[in-house]
Every structure is written in structure tokens, then in C-alpha cells.
Structure 1
Amino acid sequence: MGNGWLDAVETYVANTDDPRPLRDWLHGQGLEPARLDRLPQWSTIEAAAVGRIGGERPTETHVDRWVADAVRGAARFEGGVVVLALYVAAVCVEAWGRSSHYDRIVGVITAAQRATAADGDPVTAAVLRQLDSLRHEIDVARALVCTAPMAMVPPAERVLTVARRAEEDAAELAEVCPPIARYLARLAVAKTAYYRGIVAAARAVGEFEATGRAALPKVRRAIDLLREAESSGATGDTFDTTELRAHRRSLQLLADAVDDDWLVVEAGKIIYVYPFAIRGAPDALVVRAARRYGAGWRLGGHPVRWMRDFLPVGDTWEGATERRYEGVVLELPDLTITTADGRPRGPYRVELRFSQLGNHYLRVESAMRDARAGNVYEALHRAAPEHGMETISGKDHESNLGEHVRQILTELGQRIVHSVSHDPLLRGPLEDAGRPLSRVEVKARPDLYHVVLSIQDAALAAGPGRGAPRRRVNSVEELRGAVGWQILGHPVSEATYALAEWARYTPAVRKNPLAGLTLAHEHVIATLNTTVLVMLGTPNVMVEPLEAMAEFTASLEGLIGAWREKIVEYRLRLVESMDEAERALASGRITGVGDTLAQLQNQQLVLQRLVAEAQSLLMHIFGPTLVSAEVERDILDRLAEATGVNRLRADLYEQLEQASSGRAEAVIDALARLREQRARENQALRDSRQRILVEAFAWLFGAASISGVIQVLHDAEWMSGAHAVRWSLSLVALGGVGCAWAMLRLWRRK
């Protein structure tokens, strides 16, 4: 069997969930499959470069070069390109099953097809056509994540076209390459069963949302097709089967609710809050930079259209001290978004809000009118970075709102650094504080967002269709049993995995966190990333302050997160220094004790200052001085508790307490004692040396003095010359010996 490639393919075809036989064969030929493993995997990207919809996008040249090298290497072996193509498909499917970073996967598929375009082998061509199928399947998933069922239909139909061609390829290759023929035949059956059901289900959901009961026969037919595909065994025990089951359950729930009342948001507002922090510069300095230069910045491909040198906040934030909620607003051009199935959304008003307190955030606002359950679900999920590709005004490529926000905040950091670096009045305070511009950066987690939805007018429709009769409601109690109410009490999940997935949400049982503080027939629902204000019949003058407080609470997540990171960073530095100091203490090293002690004391002072600043800011934000009345303070406290901000605050307080723990003081005290001990030992050593030097000189001077006495005795003829000489020499020798002994002791003390 040649070089064994058919054996590898046979083993793989017997269990297509396990590509290791292909990998082992490629490795045995020296073709480095590990390099191919990495290309479609998002987890091989550095954390700072990960974008939630595509991650770091390697250039086409980069991917092409790696894949082309692999194809050239594989072409040297019989069957090598076939095995390689199968392996590329396998690792791409594996990556797709784990992540929504579709761009990397599609890039690898494109590179493989480009590199093998000239290969005339019919077996290779048949396998590569399955990469086309995978590309179309990813497009189906993208449309699903966009909550655009009708956009799923064209790529799903293209998958069916490829499946029909796979049947033909299987028949043609039955004698040429039986393992590949079996592989293609099985794929054709599985893809046909699955995507026939997907096409029927997507069309049924789309028509059901538009026409209601009139689409019920199609919904039931789609349910039957999905059940048939599940029970046929065509898809095997794979994630395709579980997805079929999930789609079927959603459609069944829709069909069961066709005669129920359906929620319609007749008038409302949706606000997306994307908190961020700016590291390396005081927040007041950032506000000054935005106030001076922000009007000339270009962010996210758009120039700033207007700058307001104040925050548009009401009397709620008047406060009791001069440290008020103040800042500056940069207004960007409005956005319009076209969904994957061609529906226009917006306009969206986009603002960057900078606060003296440090709770900066990017704010996106749009009106909501005549929104039914599916529309509300779509609007809530648009905030998530995992939301699918849509068309955003002013962009020449498909993107989504989360990616657009990420681009704005990335460019914001560059604009701030550039503005500060060219203004001595802004740069001076940083230089005086020893803060390099290189450390100034915008910090924003891609998954950190909050949606504020306010509903001011709602109705109940007798069914899901656009033309279903409606009746306006006057109380929240009338809405609780409506289809769609369950969406309002559910946090935005990271992705959508089934058609009309919201139909399977459990009804909201969350208590009103503002109970007793709102009017009758009003209701507030808060989750970790949503705040829904159902304010039926409430004037805007009362709704807008609540919206502002919900925004403010959401914006604190970025501020608290930044302080946590800052404290952790400085604590790590301090811990590293303490560990080094403790190792020095344990080993008894005496060199550099003073420098180590000074470094520790300086780091401890810096950390204590940070802790004090953080505690002061938290006391102000969560204390009685920020807002003007106790009622508003209570509202903020309750919203912070309901949305999880209090948990984050508690975590930060724990970090602050740990930062103030006694380990550093204990190490510093030990180092200080060691330094004092070393100082006493050094002083004793110096004293001992001085005594020895005095002793040495005493021997010399003593011998010389006695020699002088002998000379006087000789001159007085009391001693003969010979005796005088002998005594003088003896005394000089004794003095020299004594001096030498003293010097030897001195040398040993060094």
C-alpha cells in the first residue's frame, strides 16, 4: 500500500472524530502538522490581540506561506495532498466547534484551496470541495449568531449543493479510492439530512415572525424534518444531532404559543454601555486632554463631530461636595447598521464620556419602536462582541458593534498619548510624577458591556405576526405571561446556538430591585449585563434619571476593574521584592540590604498611596456625598447589588485589605533589624581595628621609648655599650614582633 497513506485514510474514515491517524502519517513524513494545528485556533493568539469575532487576523501572506509550504511538502509523497486536505478540514472543524473566531478558520480554508488549485488529481479535488462546504456552514453559523434566520438559508442551500456533488464524487471514486468514496458518501448523507432541516426551520421561523399563524404548517413541517434527521442516524452522535434537537425544541415552543399573547415594545430606548479605564495617567488629566484636543480626533474611522465640555447629567448628581460627577463628552457620527438579512437598524447615537471620577464609557443609544420578541432579543444581543457580522455605516467590510467599539477604544489610547506628548502642560505632571507616556493605555475587556433597555409603551399582540391585533397594556402585571417577557429577565449570553433560542428561556422570576422606590405598575429587572426599566405611563422626566443611574452603575465595572488590576500589579511587584528579601534573610546575605530595604519601603509607600486613593474614591462613589438625595443613593445601591457591581466592589476591598496586610511590614522590620545588626557589627569591627592599630603603634613607640632610656643610661655610663646595643636590639625586635602580631590580627579581621 505505498507509503501507508491509504491505511491512515482508512483509519480516519472509520472514525472521523479522530484525525490523529492523519496527523501521525503527516508527522511520519516530516511535514510538521503541528504548524497546521495552530493556524485556525484562537487560543494560539496572545491575549492582548484577541478580538471576540475574529481574533488577531494573520495576513493572507502569512497563512498562505505556511499552507503552501505544507502542500509542496505533501506533494512529494503519494497521497500526501489528500491526507493534508483531510487534515486541514479536520482541524478547521475542530476549531469551529470550540470558538466563534471564524476569520482564522476561513483564512486557513482559503489558503488551502489557493495552494492546491493547480492540483489536477480527482481525489484531491473531491476532498477540497468539502472545504467549500465548511465555508458555507460557517456562514450559516454567522447568520444564526446574528439572529437572522432568513440569512441562514442561502449558505445552507449552498451546503446542500456541495453535498449533492459529494454524492457524485463518491460514485466516481468508488473504485479509484474506496476510503475517500465512503468518506464522501457519508458526508453527503449527513449534510443533506442536517441542512435540509436547517433550511426548512430557518424559513419557517422567518415566516412565523412575519405572518404568525399562516406560517404554522411550515413550522410543523420543519419540526418533522428536524425530527426525521435526528432519528435517521445520518448525522451520527455528533454536535449536529444535538443542534437539530435544539432547533426542533425552539420551533415546537413557537408553535405551541401561536395563540398566546406576544409582547410588543411600542416605544422605548436601548443604550449600550461599554466601560473602559485609562491606565498610566490621572483621570483629571485625561479629561483635560479630551477637552483640549478631542474635537480634532478621528476614532473608529470617523472624525469627532462635536465636543461638549460637560457631562449631560441632571440634578441627581449635584452632590454635597466639590468632587462631583463631571467630565467631557465627544460625540461621534451616528451609525446605521444593516443586519445579515438586509434589515436596517438605527440610527445609533455614539458618544465617548470621560469622567473626573474615572468611570469612562462609550455610549451607544437608539430608539426602539414596534419591536416584537425576536427584535428585542436581537437588539439586546447586538451589544455582545460575539454578535455576528453586519454592515456598519462608514466601514468597507462587515463588522459588528463590539468590534467597532474595540477599534474606537484602541485608537482613543493612541490619540490621548499623542495629545499629551505634544502639550507640555499635560506632559509635565506625568514627567514630574515619573510616569512614562509608554504606560498610558486604554484598558477595556471585550466582554465588558451593559445594556439598558427602557420600555415606555407596550402592547400585547394576539400572535407573533406583524398584522396580529394588539391591545395596549397599562400595567406590568399584564405583560408577565406574554411570550417575550422571558427575554427581559435573561442576561445577554455570549452567543446564539439555536433558532429562536429565546423561546426556551425560563420566565423571569427576578424581583424588582427598586421595589418601593418606583411607581405602581413600574418594574425594574436587573441582571449581570442588563437593566430593563418597564416604565409604562411614566413621563420621560422620571425615566431619564433612572436610565442615567443605570448607566452610571454599569460604568463602574470598568473603573473597579482598573483599580483591581492596578493594585494587583503593584502587589506583585512588592511580593517579588519581599520574596527576594526573604531569601536574602534566610541565606544571611548582607550585601545590598540597605538598597533592598529602601526599595521595599518605596514600593510599600506607593502601594499604600494607591490603597488610600482607591478607598477614598470608593467611599465617595458609594457614600452619601455623590448624589443629592438619600432616595437616589438607595437606588444606586440597589442597582449595584442587582447587577453584581457590589460583588466587584467587595473583591476590590478584599484586594485593598490584602495590600495592607502585615507581611511587607514584617519583612521591612526584619531587614531594618538586620541592617541595624550589621551596623552594630560593622561598628564593633571598626572599633576592634582601631584598638589593634593603637596596640601596634604602642609596641613600636614603647620599644622606641625604652631604647631612648637605654641610650640615656649608656650616656650616663650606667650601662656599657655592648649591653646597651643588646638591649636596644632586643627591644626593637620585641616591638617589631608585637607590631607584626597586631597587624596580622588586623588583616584577619578584614
Structure 2
Amino acid sequence: MSHPPMQRGEQETAVVPGQRDGTAPDTAGLRFDLVARAPEVQGRIEAHLHQQCGVDTQAVRDCFIWNGLQSEVDPGGELDVEDVFLRRAGEVFEAQAALTPDSVDRALLCLWVHHSSVRAWNHTYRVDLLMKCMLRFRDIVRRDWDLKARPAPEVELALRLCELVRLEIELEDCLKTGSQLRYSEALDMVIGSCRGLLHDAEDDAGPVGVYVRGEVAVRREYHVMLRRLHRALVAQSAGKERERFEVRKELRTLVNTWPFSSVELSKMNAHRQALERLREAHADRRKQWMRIDEGRIVYLFPFGVNGIDYETVRSRLKRSFGEGAGPVRPSAAIDHFTYHADIWEPRLEPSKRFDGLELILPKVRLTIDGDTVEELNAALRFSPMGVHCLRLERTVEDLYPSGLHAAMFRAAREHGTVEVSCEGTDRTWDRLARFARDLILRQLPEALAPRGGEPDAPVGIHRGRSHVLIRVLRASERGREFEPPSGDEDRPLVQDGNRLLELVGSSVLLHSAPDAKESLWDWIRLADDHSRKIWNQRNEGDLLISTENTTVIAALDAPNFISGDLEALAEFTACLGGMMAAWNHQLDAYRAGVSEIIAGYSLPGADRAAQVEAMKAKRMQMLEFESETRQVIALLHSPGLLRSPSNAAELRRLLAVKGIDEQLASFSERLNEVMADQSEATLQRWEVDRQQRVRDSLTAAVSALSVCAAISIWQAAGFWTPFGWGAATVVVAAWAAVYVSARWVSYQGGPWSTARFLAGFPMRALSRARTGLARARMRRIARP
């Protein structure tokens, strides 16, 4: 990141331009020197705001920590908390802005917001949310302080310093799009903003003006150096670097002159190392560069569905073509998405097949900049096995390492802001991951929701990690990156994976898709291989590369239909993550449900019979789940899933190198723990208690009846008086009633609990009657 860290423990000597005579700037009533980049200045600003104005500085700083709010509002991380985040931040900003009485205090509050936003920038990739929060602060204070009618120069300077940070964040956001055009334009804009702010701050001799000049002067030099490094990288990559940039010498001079932070130094050093590595690669004429002449890239967003079976999913998704189906409406439906792929065994039971419904979606377009627009074919796939995914693919041509690295970044949540659009809707998204999230977690649950008499079982959708699949069809050797196309027919084609890995730029294929960007050429600094490779899948030289979130298939001398089989297996393996996510959520939900039932059983007035039935239903549901999951796990490792034994062997190797076997083993261990938990013992104990209560009640009743029968016999025989025997009968009956009632009261947890149970009994009986009638009606409907 291109910003000063402002973190604790940062020991740096501040250099403030304009204060070379050793005198401290005029503090205008402040009790401390406001010196830019001094280690203690932020603590003093915080103390002044808190002690002199009563500002809750901690609350202001927390307004920029969105991920903490995510854990409060949505612990599962499934939803977007942007609206809640901005609303809470706005309330805090309004309250704290009202506590600052004069312009200096208000400027200090702006400087504290500047520090808080920079601090948050060190720890979040959601820079879009951070920038919106900064804009919310700016708009609120301009309105509440009425800066238009009562301008305050020091407040304006402090607000413009915050705006400069926002432009720097936008600069990083442009870097993460991989666009040279946008990054260059953003760099120029930041440098221009620095110059304008410095010019306007020259006329302010107050402490805020001095602080702003000192801070912005350092940032201007930093961004000017970044621009020089970036331009040198562009020129070197294009083979047009005429005047050699002595980067080490100039960086040393710059570092000795200006008090750069450790973050700024690391960013400049990252650019320097990229430039030096790029020069080394171009200087060695023996090295050839990789270019993907033709290939395909597939972005996979796997997910799993809980609560309904495949047939229900299929029938409800047929409604996706109707009105009100959501912003992304399918254009076609295919009942068998593996219809043309004969590698899967067709004689499997329908519930065990990796086949099923495919909803063809309109084309998705990614507008990166004015020159780059990528068009993706999109589809949603559902299979009876529970392996579902959103699939987006496009063909690639003439792709050099920089372009390939940027393309691999597209599916990441950390990607920069672009325009994602879909045919048939006016709505746009700011990144591909956001489009996938809205489609899977917002529109799809609406399509799967029950309607009109359907069982209202809750439907849960759980996402796995996104995956990028790259299939290299043709690759060639080049003298350098972005080499002109002249003489293409003379360039040697890459024949196998061994030669492919010898080319400059092949490190992009060996590493996972990135989650951050240091520079547009940071790929050349990637460390040695951390991937796992499968060689010679079919032919000698065939290569399959597996990382945490990518799979690369390079069967360069094989026909396309051969490498297509490998692609199908790789897609299947990558999509298992969604199924595993749903499985693990099912285990967590079972444990939570059992704990809730056990806690409810002990509550006063609880319907313990209903709790026992609920526990039985949970246990039966888990037994069915165990049977289904173990069948799928066994099927994954059996030769019966695929038609060809060689393909089955390839799948087993893929399961091993992708870590699926480890995940399945971990899940099986968790499943064994759940099935061996205390729920069965608890259920047995509850059942024993219930049976003992019934036996005691029956024993008391039978004993009372026996005594009453004996009394009748003795009375008929003429022993004692009728009044005496009548009184004895009443005593025995009363004893039996008291004993049975005592057992019931003890079972329910006390007299008051029993009273509440009896009061709620009519409503429970009515509810059970309605449920029974509904089940009978559904059985009549389902009966042929």
C-alpha cells in the first residue's frame, strides 16, 4: 500500500518543509507542536480532542473498522454490511462533530479522521467501503459546520488532506485492476492533488497549515518516485527504455532527504526489485518469454444447498424464467450439462450423478478501462450429488504474463473496482466477486423459496472458495513481453510442459491467484514454485498444476478433446468445495440444534414430549445425512463414477493434490464425532424417564383399582359399614390421584411449570391437529 503506516512503535524523525530555522510553528493556542510525522503527534491530537472537547476518538476510529462490524452484524460473513456500516458511522460523525467548538478543534478532528483512515487502510482490502466512509464524514461536517457560509482555512486544508488519502486509496484500487491506463491516470491525479494542496497551504502559517505542508511534501516526493519507477517498468517491458534509470542511487538520495515511512519505503523497493528483475530477464538473450496464444480461463464459484433435495431445486428453478425472477434472468435451461461429455458413467443412479440442470445466463461483461472489455459466458450448474457452481468462462488469445496475472486476479474479492454488467439488466456491479455473491446469496435464495402450498423448509446456501481454471491450448516463445506481432510464423511453439516452465513468466502459472498487487509487474518477483504438479497425465510432457485456488492444464501436444476431459475433471474437483461447505454447515447446525433442544428440555413449563420428538427427528435427519455423505465419499474414490479407468485414476490423483482427500478425512472425523455425541444417550435417558413416569403412574392406578376392587368385595360380604368403605375408597382414589399428579409435577419441573404447561396445552393440541391434517392432505396430493 502507498501510504504512511501511522502505527505504534514507528520511530521516525520528522522533516517539515518551511521550518528550517529550528523554531517551532505557531500553535494558535495548542499545548503541543503539530509536527507532521512526529511519533507522538497522533497521540497528542487524540488527547486534545478527548480531554478538551470530549470527543470519543475511539468511536471515530472504530468507524473505519468495517470487518469488526461484520462479525457483529453477520458472523457468517454471508451478507454485505455496507448500509449498516455507513449508517452507524454517520451517527458517530454527527455526534462528535457537534463537540468541536472552534476551527482548530475541527481541523484536529479532521486530522484524527485522516489518521484513522490511514490506519484502517493498513488492514483492509475493502477500500471501496473505506472511501465511502471518508466521503460520508466529509459531507456531514461540511453540512453541520456550514463551511460554505462560514469558511475556515485550516479546516479546509485538513479536509483536503483527507481527500488526498482517498485519492491514494483510489490509486491502489486502480493498481488492483491490472490496468496500465487507469493506474497511470490515477498517479497523475494524486501528484496533481499534492501540488495543489501544497500551493494552497503555503499561505497558512498556522499549525494546521504547517502540518499539512510537511505531510504532503513527503507524499508528493513519494508518488513522483513511484511514477518514475512505473514509467521505467513500462518502458523496459516495451523495450523502449532509452535513458537508464539509476534507481538504487536515486532511492538512496531520496531516503536520506525525506522521512518516508516503512510502508512507503517497502512499496518503492518492491517497484525497484521488479524493475531490476525485468532488466535481468531482458538482458539474458538466452531466456525466452511465455505467451499464451490460445487458451481458456474459467472462474468457478462453488456452493452447496441445504434444506431441499435436487428435484425440488430443479422444479423451483424453472420459475427463474418468469416475471420477477431477479435482475439476472436465465436465457435457457439444459437438463443435462454433461450431455456431450461421455467420461461420466451413465448407468449410475440419478442421485449419484455429476449431471443435472444448467441455467444459461446472459453474457457478463467486465469493463476494466476504456481499452479493455472482457466478455464471459455464464451458467449456473446443479447436480444431484450436491456439487453446484456458478461458472464463467472466456477464451484468451495472445496473453503475456502481465495480462495472465491480471486475469487470474479477476475472481478475487480483493480485486479493484471495475464495471461488471449483464445483458438484460441495467444493474451493474463493481467486481466479479460481488456479482457472484449477489447471484448466489440473494437472487438464488429467492428463486428457491417455497411458494403457494409448498413445504416451507428453510433453504440454506453456502459458498466454497472461488477457483480459477486455466487451460493452455497453444503457447509460443517470445523475445520479450509485448513483442510486436511481426514474424509470428517463425516463433517456436511450446511443445510440452517442461519447456513451458523454462520460459520467463511461467511463474504466474505456478502460483495461486493473487490477493494483492505490489506493482503491475510484481509477478516477476514471485518466489520459487509452491504448487503441486501432476506430470504425464496421458502423454509425455502433459502438465497439470494445482495451487490453493488455481488449476492449470497444459496438454500442448494433445487434441483438444483430450485436454477437455482433464478440464472436466478439474472443474468437478474444484467445485467440491461448495458441497463440503454445505456439509460442514449441516454438522454445525445439528450440534446447535441439539444443544437448543437439550436446553429447552430443562426449561420450566417445557413440552418435554415435544422436545423428545424433536430430538428423535434431529437424530433421524442426521442418520440420513450420514448415509448420503458416506455414499458420496465412497463414490468419489470408486471407479464407478467415470467410464474410463484412466480417468478414474486421474480423478484420484486430482483429489490428492487438491487437498480434497484431506478435507474429506477431516469431515469424516467430524461426522464420527457428531454421531458419537451424547444426543443418543440423552435421548435414551429422556425415554427412560418418560417410561418410568408412565410405569409409576400405571402402577399407582392399578394399585388403586385393586384396592377399590377389594373394598367392593369386602363391602359385598357385609364387613364394616357402607359409609366406612365409601370413605376408604375416596382415600385410596385421592392417594392415587395425588401420587400421579406429583409424578407429573416433578416431571414438568414444579407446580408453576405444570400450570404453564396445562395452559398452553390447547394451543399445542390445535397446532398438532393442523399439522396432521396438512400431512394427510399432502399425502392425498402426492398419491397417484
Interval of TM-score (by shorter of Structure 1 and Structure 2):
0.7 to 0.9
- Alignment of 1:305 onto 2:331: yes
Match of 1:110 among 135, 158, 162: 135
- Alignment of 1:190 onto 2:218: yes
What amino acid is aligned across from residue 651 of structure 2 in structure 1?
L
Match of 2:551 among 531, 537, 540: 531
The separation in 1 between residues aligned to 2:184 and 2:652, in whole angstroms, is: 47
Matching residue of 1:507? 528
The separation in 2 between residues aligned to 1:543 and 1:601, in whole angstroms, is: 50
Instruction: Please tell me whether the aligned partners of residues 354 and 361 of structure 1 are also in contact (alpha carbons under 8 angstroms).
Output: yes
What amino acid is aligned across from residue 204 of structure 1 in structure 2?
A
Match of 1:37 among 38, 61, 66: 61
Give the C-alpha shift of residue 4 in structure 1: 11
- Alignment of 1:120 onto 2:139: no
Give the C-alpha shift of residue 706 in structure 1: 5.7
The separation in 2 between residues aligned to 1:245 and 1:523, in whole angstroms, is: 35
Residues 520 and 121 of structure 1: CA distance in aligned 2, closer, same or farther (over 3 Å): same
Instruction: Please tell me whether the aligned partners of residues 63 and 89 of structure 2 are also in contact (alpha carbons under 8 angstroms).
Output: no
What amino acid is aligned across from residue 670 of structure 1 in structure 2?
R
Give the C-alpha shift of residue 358 in structure 1: 1.9
What is the correspondence of 1:454-603 to structure 2 with a 5 Å cutoff?
Answer: 454-467=471-484, 470-508=491-529, 510-513=531-534, 515-578=535-598, 594-603=609-618
Residues 221 and 112 of structure 1: CA distance in aligned 2, closer, same or farther (over 3 Å): farther
Match of 1:444 among 453, 457, 463: 463
The separation in 2 between residues aligned to 1:592 and 1:274, in whole angstroms, is: 44
| Secondary structure of the structure 2 residue equivalent to 1:258 | helix
The separation in 2 between residues aligned to 1:621 and 1:685, in whole angstroms, is: 58
The separation in 2 between residues aligned to 1:573 and 1:143, in whole angstroms, is: 46
Give the C-alpha shift of residue 373 in structure 1: 0.9
What amino acid is aligned across from residue 475 of structure 2 in structure 1?
A
Give the C-alpha shift of residue 694 in structure 1: 7.6
- Alignment of 1:270 onto 2:289: no
Instruction: Please tell me whether the aligned partners of residues 568 and 655 of structure 1 are also in contact (alpha carbons under 8 angstroms).
Output: no
Residues 557 and 540 of structure 1: CA distance in aligned 2, closer, same or farther (over 3 Å): same
What is the correspondence of 1:597-612 to structure 2 with a 5 Å cutoff?
Answer: 597-612=612-627
Matching residue of 2:7? none
- Alignment of 1:647 onto 2:662: yes
Instruction: Please tell me whether the aligned partners of residues 54 and 102 of structure 1 are also in contact (alpha carbons under 8 angstroms).
Output: no
Instruction: Please tell me whether the aligned partners of residues 567 and 610 of structure 1 are also in contact (alpha carbons under 8 angstroms).
Output: no
My pick for the range that moved more, 608-617 or 266-275, is 608-617
TM-score (norm. length: structure 2): 0.79
Instruction: Please tell me whether the aligned partners of residues 58 and 104 of structure 1 are also in contact (alpha carbons under 8 angstroms).
Output: no
Instruction: Please tell me whether the aligned partners of residues 325 and 447 of structure 2 are also in contact (alpha carbons under 8 angstroms).
Output: no
Matching residue of 2:416? 388
What amino acid is aligned across from residue 481 of structure 1 in structure 2?
E
The separation in 2 between residues aligned to 1:371 and 1:504, in whole angstroms, is: 19
Matching residue of 1:288? 315
Residues 173 and 51 of structure 1: CA distance in aligned 2, closer, same or farther (over 3 Å): farther
Matching residue of 2:280? 256
My pick for the range that moved more, 302-311 or 364-373, is 302-311
What is the correspondence of 1:669-680 to structure 2 with a 5 Å cutoff?
Answer: 669-680=684-695
The separation in 2 between residues aligned to 1:368 and 1:170, in whole angstroms, is: 50
Residues 412 and 596 of structure 1: CA distance in aligned 2, closer, same or farther (over 3 Å): closer
Match of 1:99 among 124, 129, 136: 124
Instruction: Please tell me whether the aligned partners of residues 299 and 411 of structure 2 are also in contact (alpha carbons under 8 angstroms).
Output: yes
What amino acid is aligned across from residue 391 of structure 1 in structure 2?
E
- Alignment of 1:208 onto 2:245: no
The separation in 2 between residues aligned to 1:669 and 1:61, in whole angstroms, is: 51
Instruction: Please tell me whether the aligned partners of residues 475 and 493 of structure 2 are also in contact (alpha carbons under 8 angstroms).
Output: yes
Residues 367 and 300 of structure 1: CA distance in aligned 2, closer, same or farther (over 3 Å): farther
Give RMSD over aligned pairs: 3.8
What is the correspondence of 1:15-34 to structure 2 with a 5 Å cutoff?
Answer: 15=39, 18=42, 21-22=45-46, 25-26=49-50, 29-34=53-58
| Secondary structure of the structure 1 residue equivalent to 2:376 | strand
The separation in 1 between residues aligned to 2:40 and 2:520, in whole angstroms, is: 27
| Secondary structure of the structure 1 residue equivalent to 2:544 | strand
Give the C-alpha shift of residue 94 in structure 1: 1.6
| Secondary structure of the structure 1 residue equivalent to 2:533 | coil
The separation in 1 between residues aligned to 2:613 and 2:675, in whole angstroms, is: 18
Deviations 1:422-479 (A, max 9, x none): 5x6xx3xxx2xxx43xx2244335xx21111111211121222423874322232222
Residues 53 and 410 of structure 1: CA distance in aligned 2, closer, same or farther (over 3 Å): closer
Matching residue of 1:315? 342
The separation in 2 between residues aligned to 1:647 and 1:5, in whole angstroms, is: 65
Instruction: Please tell me whether the aligned partners of residues 26 and 84 of structure 1 are also in contact (alpha carbons under 8 angstroms).
Output: no
Residues 339 and 421 of structure 1: CA distance in aligned 2, closer, same or farther (over 3 Å): same
What amino acid is aligned across from residue 443 of structure 1 in structure 2?
H
Residues 674 and 64 of structure 1: CA distance in aligned 2, closer, same or farther (over 3 Å): closer
5+ residue gaps, structure 2, are 1-26, 743-784
Give the C-alpha shift of residue 307 in structure 1: 2.5
| Secondary structure of the structure 2 residue equivalent to 1:512 | strand
Residues 247 and 36 of structure 1: CA distance in aligned 2, closer, same or farther (over 3 Å): same
Give the C-alpha shift of residue 51 in structure 1: 12
Residues 20 and 356 of structure 1: CA distance in aligned 2, closer, same or farther (over 3 Å): farther
What amino acid is aligned across from residue 295 of structure 2 in structure 1?
G
| Secondary structure of the structure 2 residue equivalent to 1:604 | helix
Match of 1:57 among 63, 71, 82: 82
- Alignment of 1:139 onto 2:139: no
Residues 22 and 540 of structure 1: CA distance in aligned 2, closer, same or farther (over 3 Å): same
Give the C-alpha shift of residue 311 in structure 1: 0.6
Deviations 1:67-120 (A, max 9, x none): 662475044346331122112212211221111212222122223333324251
| Secondary structure of the structure 1 residue equivalent to 2:137 | helix
Matching residue of 2:227? 199
Give the C-alpha shift of residue 130 in structure 1: 0.5
- Alignment of 1:371 onto 2:402: no
| Secondary structure of the structure 1 residue equivalent to 2:291 | strand
Matching residue of 1:7? 31
What amino acid is aligned across from residue 545 of structure 1 in structure 2?
D
Give the C-alpha shift of residue 165 in structure 1: 4.0
The separation in 1 between residues aligned to 2:233 and 2:687, in whole angstroms, is: 74
The separation in 2 between residues aligned to 1:464 and 1:55, in whole angstroms, is: 40
- Alignment of 1:625 onto 2:640: yes
Give the C-alpha shift of residue 268 in structure 1: 1.0
The separation in 2 between residues aligned to 1:748 and 1:12, in whole angstroms, is: 84
My pick for the range that moved more, 592-601 or 379-388, is 592-601
- Give the ranges of 4+ consecutive aligned residues of structure 1 lying more than 6 Å apart after TM superposition: 48-54, 297-300, 691-702, 734-748
Length, aligned pairs only: 695
My pick for the range that moved more, 455-464 or 387-396, is 387-396
Matching residue of 1:717? none
The separation in 1 between residues aligned to 2:44 and 2:577, in whole angstroms, is: 44
My pick for the range that moved more, 658-667 or 540-549, is 658-667
TM-score (norm. length: structure 1): 0.82
Percent sequence identity over aligned pairs:
20
Residues 280 and 230 of structure 1: CA distance in aligned 2, closer, same or farther (over 3 Å): farther
What is the correspondence of 1:723-742 to structure 2 with a 5 Å cutoff?
Answer: none
Give the C-alpha shift of residue 59 in structure 1: 8.5
What amino acid is aligned across from residue 106 of structure 1 in structure 2?
M
Instruction: Please tell me whether the aligned partners of residues 283 and 355 of structure 1 are also in contact (alpha carbons under 8 angstroms).
Output: yes
Matching residue of 2:187? 156
Match of 1:349 among 358, 377, 383: 377
The separation in 2 between residues aligned to 1:359 and 1:739, in whole angstroms, is: 70
- Structure possessing the higher radius of gyration over alpha carbons: 1
The separation in 1 between residues aligned to 2:727 and 2:320, in whole angstroms, is: 85
5+ residue gaps, structure 1, are 709-731
Matching residue of 1:722? none
Instruction: Please tell me whether the aligned partners of residues 268 and 454 of structure 1 are also in contact (alpha carbons under 8 angstroms).
Output: yes
The separation in 2 between residues aligned to 1:157 and 1:185, in whole angstroms, is: 19
Instruction: Please tell me whether the aligned partners of residues 289 and 416 of structure 1 are also in contact (alpha carbons under 8 angstroms).
Output: yes
